[in-house]
């Protein structure tokens, strides 16, 4: 497998990974536990914590996957020039982006019956462009070793918009 | 129907009818569709055969010019009319001019006292290897009396008659944004006040704007078939629009999948705000960052003087108002249906 196809598969995998992680962040909390938390701290703290947790989990998952795939495929010549450090930095930004888009929808689907399907429907339209941008950025890293600044800024702006919206809106969902 | 309370419905229908009739019936200005040669050598004499669009060469006194980017021009020494659409222009191109480069940009202008200008901008004047001196001279452009202003849409190459799609495709998108913004405002109101009416308004407006979006995609697709050659291209803006349509379809699915009315309304309101915030970067920002076939992207705003002119605006703005008001009307009917449903449910519960 060459570096380009690896790049595409990697980001799609990160997307699937982040859906599962984001859903687990909410479903694993027991009802009594969340009732306790509701009285203890404000909703801003909760969504901020979930966002941070998702970010770290997606990032660590991605790094483990990246490193293990490089270790186990070290015979491949194309990985000799693979920009690992830049890739990990891109992963840091994109996992923040994914966690900020997934956190609020995963809180929204808690009230419905089939959570997994609904989370997919709600958040995939938003996360697919992010994945596409990530694939483009990763492809440029591999081929030209340069950063596409507008793509990076786009990711950061998505982070800014989505996390702000999540922080403000989660309050209303948390009450119920 | 009471005119005092429902004046906006009449206004909407009137604007829409005006946009349909005026948009389809008003002719285009004359234009130059094709010329036989694009590269001319200075110092030579050429016969340019010109195919016009909406021109009437045989009925009026036309004159042809080649203009340089500065203030110089030459007049066609011969204007042989074949029929209304076809003519052969004879030009004696002078051998030199000031600031001449290897390739200079020039414009072909055809002028008639009745219909005004038609221009063809992509003309190049090349400098030959050896100078061929001749007697022709560039002359300065004189003040030309403007033709009487006529209500006609501008002629654009390639787009030609499909420029009328501005009134339907672009206007319906604008109306859709307005309706979505109203839905957003009522979603915020629902979260603050918690009245069921606000939820009805928000959901009705979201559904009707989804319908508007589908119509917008359909009209754009038909237009793309004629000007780009395919119903759907892999253009950034088209993909992003498809994705934002999916976001709002998800809104419908979310509403359908929650049973409890209060929870449904709250979740839907939260998601609506979230979806609006997600749609803005998708449609407004990403297509502007990348190269796109779509007019108004890749840096050039679609409302600049190159794309819109006052005759277009005179139909375009009423079309937006008309479509927006009609959308509001349909949404109002949806709100009424929901109110009646709620009343019936309450009555059934009380019995």
List of domains in chain B:
31-140 (2.60.40.10), 160-350 (1.20.120)
- Tell me the backbone φ, ψ of residue B139, rounded to 5 degrees: -115, 155
What is the Cα–Cα distance from A67 to A81, expressed in whole angstroms?
14
C-beta neighbour count of A160 within 10 angstroms: 13
Q: Is A81 on the interface with B (CB under 8 A)?
A: no
List the beta bridge partners of residue A132. none
Read off the tokens for A1: 């497998």
pLDDT category of residue A33 using cuts at 50, 70 and 90: confident
Highest mean pLDDT among A75-84, A85-94, B136-145, B180-189: B180-189
pTM of the model: 0.83
Across residues A144-157, what is the average pLDDT? Answer: 84
Burial of B333 (0-12, 13-18, 19+ CB in 10 A): exposed
Work out the burial of residue B42: count CB atoms within 10 Å of its CB; fewer than 13 is exposed, 13-18 middle, 19 or more buried.
buried
DSSP assigned state of B122: E
- Please judge whether B271 and A161 are an interchain contact, meaning their C-beta atoms are less than 8 angstroms apart: no
**Identity of the residue in A111, A125, A158 whose CB atom sits nearest the CB atom of B258:** A111
What percentage of chain A reaches a pLDDT higher than 70?
93
Residues 19 through 58 of chain A touching chain B, CB cutoff 8 Å: none
3-class secondary structure, B125: strand
Q: Do B282 and A101 touch (CB under 8 A)?
A: no
pLDDT in tens, B224-269: 888 888 888 887 888 888 888 999 999 998 888 888 888 889 889 9
Q: CA-to-CA distance for B342 and A26, rounded, in angstroms?
A: 33
Q: Which residue has the higher pLDDT, A18 or A71?
A: A18
Task: From chain A, pick out residues whose CB is under 8 angstroms from the CB of B277.
Answer: 161-162, 165
A-to-B residue pairs, Cβ atoms closer than 8 angstroms: 75
Q: Taking CB atoms and an 8 Å limit, are A125 and B244 in contact across chains? A: yes
**What is the nearest CA distance from A124 to chain B, expressed in angstroms?**
8
Residues of chain B with pLDDT under 50: 298-305
Which among A121, A126, A129 is the nearest to B253, CB-wise? Answer: A121
CA distance B177 to chain A (A): 18
| Cα Rg, chain B, nearest whole Å | 28
Q: Compute the C-alpha angle A121/A126/A130, nearest 5°.
A: 130
Biggest CA-to-CA distance, chain A: 56
For chain A, give the mean pLDDT.
83
State whether residue B152 is helix, strand or coil: coil
Q: What is the pLDDT of residue B1?
A: 61
Q: Under an 8 A CB cutoff, do A125 and B280 touch?
A: no
Collect all residues of chain A within an 8 Å Cβ-Cβ radius of residue B282.
Answer: 129
What pLDDT shows up at residue B298? Answer: 46
Interface residues of B toward A, Cβ cutoff 8 Å, are 191, 240, 243-244, 246-247, 250, 253-254, 257-258, 260, 262-263, 266-267, 269-271, 273-274, 277-278, 280-282, 285-286, 289
Answer whether B282 sits within 8 Å of A105, measured CB to CB. Answer: no
Which residues, numbered 94 to 123 in chain A, qualify as contacts with chain B under a Cβ-Cβ cut-off of 8 Å? 101, 104-105, 108, 111-114, 118, 121-122
B324 closest CA partner among B221, B220, B189, B181? B181
Q: Return the closest-CA partner of residue B257 out of A102, A121, A127, A101.
A: A121
Instruction: Answer with the residue of higher pLDDT: B203 or A7.
Output: B203
Distance from CA of A162 to the nearest CA of B (A): 7
Instruction: Please report residues of B whose CB lies closer than 8 A to that of A166.
Output: 274
């Amino acid at each position: 497998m060459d570096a380009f196809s690896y790049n595409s598969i990697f980001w799609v995998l990160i997307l699937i990974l982040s859906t599962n992680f984001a859903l687990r962040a909410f479903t694993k909390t027991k009802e009594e536990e969340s009732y306790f938390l509701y009285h203890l701290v404000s909703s801003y703290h909760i969504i901020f914590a979930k966002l941070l947790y998702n970010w770290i989990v997606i990032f660590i998952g991605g790094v483990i996957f990246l490193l293990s795939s490089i270790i186990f495929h070290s015979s491949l010549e194309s990985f000799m020039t693979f920009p690992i450090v830049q890739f990990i930095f891109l992963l840091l930004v994109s996992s923040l982006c994914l966690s900020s888009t997934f956190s609020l929808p995963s809180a929204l689907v808690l009230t419905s019956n089939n959570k997994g399907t609904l989370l997919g429907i709600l958040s995939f339209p938003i996360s697919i462009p992010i994945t596409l941008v990530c694939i483009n950025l990763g492809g440029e890293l591999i081929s030209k070793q340069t950063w596409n600044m507008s793509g990076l800024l786009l990711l950061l702006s998505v982070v800014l918009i989505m996390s702000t919206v999540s922080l403000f809106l989660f309050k209303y969902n948390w009450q119920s | 129907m009471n005119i005092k309370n429902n004046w906006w419905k009449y206004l909407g229908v009137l604007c829409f009818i005006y946009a349909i009739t005026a948009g389809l019936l008003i002719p285009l200005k004359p234009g130059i569709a094709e010329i036989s040669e694009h590269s001319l050598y200075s110092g030579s004499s050429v016969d340019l055969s010109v195919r016009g669009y909406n021109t009437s060469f045989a009925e009026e006194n036309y004159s042809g010019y080649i203009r340089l980017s500065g203030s110089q021009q030459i007049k066609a020494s011969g204007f042989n009319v074949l029929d209304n659409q076809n003519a052969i222009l004879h030009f004696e191109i002078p051998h030199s001019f000031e600031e001449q480069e290897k390739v200079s940009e020039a414009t072909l202008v055809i002028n008639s006292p009745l219909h005004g200008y038609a221009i063809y901008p992509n003309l190049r004047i090349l400098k030959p290897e050896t100078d061929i001196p001749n007697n022709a001279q560039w002359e300065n452009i004189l003040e030309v009396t403007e033709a009487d202003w006529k209500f006609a849409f501008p002629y654009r190459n390639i787009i030609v008659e499909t420029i009328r799609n501005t009134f339907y495709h672009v206007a319906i998108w604008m109306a859709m944004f307005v309706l979505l913004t109203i839905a957003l405002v009522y979603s915020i109101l629902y979260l603050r006040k918690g009245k069921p009416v606000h939820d009805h308004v928000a959901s009705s407006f979201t559904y009707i704007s989804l319908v508007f979006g589908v119509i917008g995609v359909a009209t754009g697709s038909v237009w793309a078939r004629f000007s780009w050659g395919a119903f759907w291209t892999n253009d950034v803006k088209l993909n992003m629009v498809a994705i934002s349509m999916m976001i709002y379809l998800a809104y419908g699915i979310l509403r359908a999948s929650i049973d409890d009315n209060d929870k449904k309304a709250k979740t839907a309101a939260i998601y609506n705000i979230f979806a609006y915030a997600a749609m803005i970067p998708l449609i407004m920002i990403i297509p502007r960052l990348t190269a796109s076939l779509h007019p108004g992207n890749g840096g050039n705003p679609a409302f600049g003087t190159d794309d819109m002119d006052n005759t277009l605006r005179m139909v375009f703005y009423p079309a937006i108002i008309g479509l927006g008001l009609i959308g509001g009307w349909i949404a109002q009917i949806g709100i009424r249906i929901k109110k009646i449903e709620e009343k019936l449910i309450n009555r059934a519960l009380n019995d």
